[in-house]
Structure 1
Amino acid sequence: MDDSDAIDVDRWRDELESKRAEKDEFFAEHPQSPIPPDERDSFDGLAYFEPDPDYRVRARVEVHDDPEPVYVETTAGREMRYLRVATLEFDLEREAEGLTGGTFGLHAYQQESPNEQPLFVPFRDKTTGQQTYEGGRYMELEPERDLETGDEVVLDFNLAYTPFCAFSDTFDCPLPPEENWLEVAIPAGERVDR
Structure 2
Amino acid sequence: MKKSFLILFVVLLQISCAKKRPAVIGETEFQQELNADFKDASKSPLKAKDLKTFEALDFFPVDNSYRVNAMLETTPNSPVFTMPATKEKTSKYRRFGILTFTLKGKEFSLEVYRNQDLMKTEKYKNHLFLPFTDETNGFASYGGGRYIDLEIPLGNLIQIDFNKAYNPYCAYNDTYSCPIPPRVNFLQTEIKAGVKSFDKH
- Please name the residue that 2:144 is paired with: 135
When residues 63 and 27 of structure 1 are mapped into structure 2, their CA distance, relative to the original with a 3 A threshold, is same
Aligned alpha-carbon RMSD (Å):
1.9
- In our comparison, the structure showing a higher alpha carbon Rg is 2
Task: Give the Cα separation in 2 of the matches to 1:44 and 1:16.
Answer: 14
| Divergent runs of 4+, >4 A | none
> Pairwise mapping of residues 73-92 of structure 1 onto structure 2 (< 5 A)?
73-77=84-88, 79-92=90-103
- Stretches of structure 2 that go unaligned for 5 or more consecutive residues are 1-25
Select the structure that is richer in strand.
Answer: 1
Whether contact under 8 Å (1:86, 1:108) holds in the other structure is yes
Say whether residues 1:125 and 2:134 are aligned partners: yes
Give the TM-score normalised by the residue count of structure 1.
0.80
- Please name the residue that 1:181 is paired with: 186
Query: Deviations along 1:45-87, whole A, 9 cap, x unmatched?
Result: 1010000000000000100121233432111155533101110
Secondary structure of the 1:58 match is strand
Say whether residues 1:65 and 2:76 are aligned partners: yes
Whether contact under 8 Å (1:68, 1:85) holds in the other structure is no
Sequence identity, in percent? Answer: 33
- Stretches of structure 1 that go unaligned for 5 or more consecutive residues are 1-14, 94-100
Give the TM-score normalised by the residue count of structure 2.
0.78
Whether contact under 8 Å (2:172, 2:198) holds in the other structure is no
- Please name the residue that 2:175 is paired with: 170
Code of the aligned partner of 1:112: Q
Instruction: Tell me which of the two structures has the higher relative contact order, counting C-alpha pairs closer than 8 angstroms and 6 or more residues apart.
Output: 1
When residues 16 and 90 of structure 1 are mapped into structure 2, their CA distance, relative to the original with a 3 A threshold, is farther
Secondary structure of the 2:179 match is coil
